[in-house]
Structure 1
């Protein structure tokens, strides 16, 4: 029996008359022995305390966990800080470190103003909970980093995100070194961010940086150098990559940023001397973040390249600025549907011809970049074919044959509807108009009195069928009248009170009639504005229109 208890009684054993062994101690002493054995069997320490704060009973676990505490110890001044503080303040529980172990105690009241402390070792439990919390923090960091990196569409955005996100969670300072696609032609680009900076700092450096920064050359080659101490003072050629007030001593971790088939850069993390170095879990997390940052940077570079190509394509495919033509006023209007690039499948063009001009307004099947490519083919073909043929119907047939003969015509299954017409001055001050139709909405004539007349031009889509038939009509446009042509994106624009009703022919005629007498530019702008208001800016199809009227004599 090892417990220390108040009032222990000991006595020799004796035999009864029958010769059986029995204790000659009182039954209360035997009960105390049994209670002591039970208390010593507890895994947690137990201390009874009297009204003066002095320890009375302490079991065996107490001597293991709290050797400084025993019978008669004043807990308010004992050598266990957390227990002493809780006792002095009257707190019902405590938790703290003692002799390298994590202890947690709870106080319970006993009769006669006494109370008892139950203290247990929670080191492993606490370590497990801390490991779980740390893992949750790592997971949350990677989730947030992945989301923010995914929003970086451009190279500079991705570099700034890669430099700012690790601070301060992973490091006190982060440096991202971007490896250019053609190292022989470009210098490395870097972005640095440190805790307390108002924002990231960027610049370019020569290739001496890779030799001055330990592990950088290895990381740019795809290697993973181990973390280690680093002295800034011992390095050269680091200005202005690192700030002048940077701590001279630091812990350095360099990780490669893998991309598509190549290493796109390296992530450099620094921790100041007051912070612990990188443990294996920190290194693993940094490598994972660097990999995600490399993927985001790769996608941003691809996006930038595609955006550049799209801008070049856009500049070549946007409807042209219409030239000034003698004897007539011409205006065009264009909107691309639901695309960040202002290109689509609707187009118009004005081409010089003998004695006047040719005009074209069409709608290629499809939307976006794919339709814009075919639009470019149609416009280029018209530019070439009009040198050998300027009669609208014959020119339309040549264009149809050219589109059908394209090598990928069968694969793309694309075609275009088209109005192709010629405009020339009339001796009486009007315009002679000849229009060939290829399955396109009919042109409209708006008279000065507001009458809107549909010009019946039918025909079949161009480039769709080998035996397609096309039609042609002639008309005279008197002074003050306007020839208005449009794509079906105008009449099929959906909107209105419920957002699903089409703009329709009736509203288009009303818009044109109410704008009678306006010059072509004002009439086109009026219709575009009304369609935009109808669809509330949510266009689902491209819109193009072309208007022409005889020019009034000066």
Structure 2
């Protein structure tokens, strides 16, 4: 082929082409090579040339070239030709490299926000959310992250802060003078977003309590508000040291997005803390009470709630001392969880009030029934309760007379000293279910060594065993009581609870409540 025609064809290529002889001397360059690598022209040798990456490739015998030259990213290959000559094909991949780098950077930002969102979503307490907000931006977004916020639920209106610089976060409180000395911080706490700005050491006077002592002389500062629920949850301060580039537009967007997510997490955690506090207050008010000391009577109670988080439910028991004895109640409100617990509280409060005007169990059940039916159905949602309500009267000979009324509840069980278990049939209809309900009443006398156990159906209906679905049942309950005959009420109740727990094997079960009573003499 005519050399001039060959060169004309090579000049039409978009990549640089160089031909070198057996000693690395350039013998031909096309137009693209002349523009991209002006240092190389026919007669110049690659060894020792200013195009370092080609010189190194020739010296090492490498077939691939990848490096920087004149602020351009170049990539190429070498192909052998006849006569120990070589053809070098070099492309300018600067734009491709920048696009790939931008894509990697954007993916990194997306991954950061996704991982930060997951971490923040797991922060169910405000301290956890604050810690996550301060630690996650370092080192990806900044060399230092500082969260300044105002505590809730306190009288003092003193700013608090948490700071992270790559090691364990530090916490503290400061005054408004230090907050005002940090540019843009007061505005961010009011919900206003600032812009990145240089922050030389000479401008940091007064903000010292918020900063570590070893912060470099030159830095870039970015302050972002952290929106909460109806108010600003705090302010996020990001600082990049002088050796690191400042915040570009996309960095600012990511920082703002992170600050918004962190603020939402803090607000959610605050709400969770408040709900948990309310739940604890509700729980403490509705948990079965400590049993009172009643002369001539031994008492023991046992309780398990079905819920996984709150130890409250729809099963309950209560013992209220009276002149010459005590009034006891054990019931099972329909439903589970907080809804059942609220009605449980109403039943217990109603009993405490109604007992001031009526002591007879059956009549007291009637009054309670009317009180529950008077509650609007929207508040009660059609709920009712089964109930055993009775009186305990110690006798001079050491026995205990029990008068018990039933409202649709499982019969209490009499356990004598020989291990015989006998249901005490009471009957009656559920309380608060339908108008005009009938309630029954019976009386039993306990001799020394005998116990009466009232329990909810959560005991016998607890599912577990080898199959995981079999009910504990009446037969196992009677056998457990017979084996514990003659024991103190506490021992008997603890034994039954232990067997039920073993039977369920850690699986969920219905609410369980038990109340055992017996004469103080004997046993």
The TM-score bracket by the shorter chain reads over 0.9
| CA displacement, residues 122-160 of structure 1 (integer Å, 9 cap, x when unaligned) | 111111111111111111111110111111111111000
Q: Measure how far apart 1:88 and its partner are.
A: 1.8
| CA displacement, residues 528-550 of structure 1 (integer Å, 9 cap, x when unaligned) | 11111111122332111111111
Question: Residue 423 of structure 2 aligns with which residue?
Answer: 454
359, 362, 370: which one aligns with 2:339 = 370
Distance 1:411 1:477 in 2: 37
Q: Measure how far apart 1:181 and its partner are.
A: 4.4
Of 536-545 and 181-190, deviating more is 181-190
Q: Look at both structures and tell me which one has the larger radius of gyration over its CA atoms.
A: 1
Residue 72 of structure 2 corresponds to residue 72 of structure 1:
no
Show the 5 A alignment for 1:110-259: 110-181=81-152, 185-195=156-166, 197=167, 199-259=168-228
Q: Measure how far apart 1:410 and its partner are.
A: 6.1
Aligned 8 A contact 1:420 1:437 in 2: yes
452, 455, 458: which one aligns with 1:486 = 455
78, 85, 89: which one aligns with 2:60 = 89
| CA displacement, residues 73-132 of structure 1 (integer Å, 9 cap, x when unaligned) | 222322122222222222221222222221111111222322211100111111111111
Question: Residue 411 of structure 2 aligns with which residue?
Answer: 442
Aligned 8 A contact 1:333 1:524 in 2: yes
Aligned 8 A contact 1:366 1:414 in 2: yes
Provide the aligned length of Structure 1 versus Structure 2: 523
Q: Measure how far apart 1:234 and its partner are.
A: 2.8
Distance 1:294 1:215 in 2: 17
Question: Residue 238 of structure 2 aligns with which residue?
Answer: 269
SS at match of 2:83: coil
Question: Residue 4 of structure 2 aligns with which residue?
Answer: 33
Show the 5 A alignment for 1:6-85: 28=1, 31-85=2-56
Aligned 8 A contact 1:45 1:65 in 2: yes
Distance 1:553 1:437 in 2: 28
Q: 1:303 to 1:410 in 2, by over 3 A?
A: closer
| CA displacement, residues 151-186 of structure 1 (integer Å, 9 cap, x when unaligned) | 111111100000000000000000001133479742
Runs of 4+ in 1 over 4 A off after TM superposition: 181-184, 408-411
Q: Measure how far apart 1:236 and its partner are.
A: 3.4
Question: Residue 384 of structure 2 aligns with which residue?
Answer: 415
TM-score by length of 1: 0.91
SS at match of 1:377: helix
| CA displacement, residues 194-229 of structure 1 (integer Å, 9 cap, x when unaligned) | 02x2x1101111222331110111111111110101
Structure 1 unaligned regions, length at least 5? 1-27
Q: Measure how far apart 1:463 and its partner are.
A: 1.2
TM-score by length of 2: 0.97
435, 438, 447: which one aligns with 1:469 = 438
Q: Measure how far apart 1:409 and its partner are.
A: 5.4
Distance 2:311 2:126 in 1: 22
Question: Residue 520 of structure 1 aligns with which residue?
Answer: 489
Aligned 8 A contact 1:180 1:264 in 2: no
| CA displacement, residues 34-77 of structure 1 (integer Å, 9 cap, x when unaligned) | 21111000000011122212222111110111111111222232
Distance 2:326 2:208 in 1: 64
Question: Residue 353 of structure 2 aligns with which residue?
Answer: 384
Coordinate RMSD, CA, aligned: 1.6
Aligned 8 A contact 2:320 2:327 in 1: yes
Aligned 8 A contact 1:338 1:538 in 2: no
Aligned 8 A contact 2:390 2:402 in 1: yes
Question: Residue 100 of structure 1 aligns with which residue?
Answer: 71
Aligned 8 A contact 2:343 2:380 in 1: no
Aligned 8 A contact 2:217 2:242 in 1: no
Residue 508 of structure 2 corresponds to residue 539 of structure 1:
yes
Residue 301 of structure 2 corresponds to residue 336 of structure 1:
no
SS at match of 2:243: coil
SS at match of 1:224: coil
SS at match of 2:224: strand
SS at match of 2:209: coil
SS at match of 1:104: strand
Of 277-286 and 411-420, deviating more is 411-420
339, 349, 352: which one aligns with 2:321 = 352
Distance 2:204 2:103 in 1: 39
| CA displacement, residues 222-241 of structure 1 (integer Å, 9 cap, x when unaligned) | 11110101134433333432
Structure 2 unaligned regions, length at least 5? none
Distance 1:208 1:525 in 2: 61
